[in-house]
Structure 1
């Protein structure tokens, strides 16, 4: 399931992190062609993989099959240090509870977790982790296609600037906010039952040493409880 490894604790999970670096290289360099990130050791690591990063590897049978990374916006991150031109001189949200969502990818596979495609489990896990950890919003530089996916799966999305061309692709900077209603929509759309977070393995809390507390509704079997709807939903 989805583990949560804080950057400062990567040495405690060296075996999994080695698989993370190699998974990222396979996916982003070998599959997607990010040649600027190619390394002779087959490990994709950048300047933002420091102590403040939050790594979210999706682990099945001891292997990494999906991954996302969250970066605090009060520290250097991609939009601040690599892609500020996407904002065309404008500002973007920053704050202790605002993170940047990067490196999100699932391997191409027919493998499923409890009958659910791994890409759906990964996307659900990111929203669940934000709610559990207390992350209020994520900034993302992404393709319009993913923006449509986020909107259709319950994220509250707001554009931060007009789309720009980057390496031949249209990229849009956005802010995406998680919600309990959004997580419930993920569960309903994908037929997910229970939490997809692995609280027994690397339950990293970016705001302190207290253990993360599971969301009560995420523990209940799918379809066994009726939740109130928000107006207009």
Structure 2
């Protein structure tokens, strides 16, 4: 299940957001060893302070297994404010029809079901949630800064990144900026390859009482 956490619900879902930051620490600091800001085994950055929307992927045990952060391209974004060098001289996207995704992360158990291309079904679920969010908000594209490893995953999922500039070394990885199409056709393709049934993005709900 995917939960959509908007700024007005941060307080209600504070424990889920804290768990998400812990997942980001495990993925970006411990696994990938990126140069990220951490404290007490959680990872945050300045863009968490700009009231983003979060998509949280929950497992059957209600634990957070994945996440992605979404911000409008008309405000502060990682591409504009942190990685403008990746634009390659192009103009940074800035329109209501384009949002930026960042901090896409998955921390899955070995038993996670696989789908097309050998990718985890959960990967397709989070991709589908991003597209559903985009369609619900009249977006045409998502802009993102990612690494070439994630670019390969997007290609395998048949949601290819349209590069804005050429890949460049950033810290310990090779980063690239690009655009992802938001359309009903793209959603249908992702659902099919991920063997997903129906919509994946749901309004926030509280976990059942213990």
Q: TM-score range by the shorter chain?
A: 0.7 to 0.9
Residue 47 (str. 1) matches residue 51 (str. 2): no
Separation (CA, whole Å) in 1 of partners of 2:97 and 2:81: 19
Q: 2:183 maps to which residue?
A: 179
1:128 aligns with 2:127: no
**Deviation >6 Å, runs of 4+:** 113-116
The alignment's TM-score, normalised by the length of structure 2, stands at: 0.84
Judged with a 3 Å threshold, the aligned counterparts in structure 2 of structure 1 residues 179 and 129 are, in CA distance, closer, same or farther, namely same
Q: Mean alpha-carbon deviation: is it higher for 132-141 or for 178-187?
A: 132-141
Aligned length: 201
Aligned partner of 1:188 among 192, 206, 209: 192
* Structure 1 residue ranges without an equivalent (≥5): 203-233
What SS does the corresponding residue of 1:105 show, helix, strand or coil?
Answer: strand
Normalized against structure 1, the TM-score is what?
A: 0.77
Which structure is higher in RCO with an 8 Å CA cutoff and minimum separation 6?
Answer: 2
Distance in 1 (alpha carbons) for counterparts of 2:31 and 2:198:
32
**Pair 1:167-2:166 in alignment:** no
Contact 1:99 1:135 in 2 (8 A): yes
Shift of 1:176: 1.1
Runs of 5+ unmatched residues, structure 2: none
The residue that corresponds to 1:96 in the other structure is 96
Deviations 1:99-153 (A, max 9, x none): 1110111114234479973222222222222222322211112233433443454
Distance, in Å, in 2 between the alignment partners of 1:70 and 1:151 is 21
State the alpha-carbon separation in 2 of the partners of residues 198 and 114 from structure 1. Answer: 22
**1:16 is matched with which residue?**
16
Structure 2 Cα separation of the partners of residues 97 and 59 of structure 1:
28
Shift of 1:193: 0.9
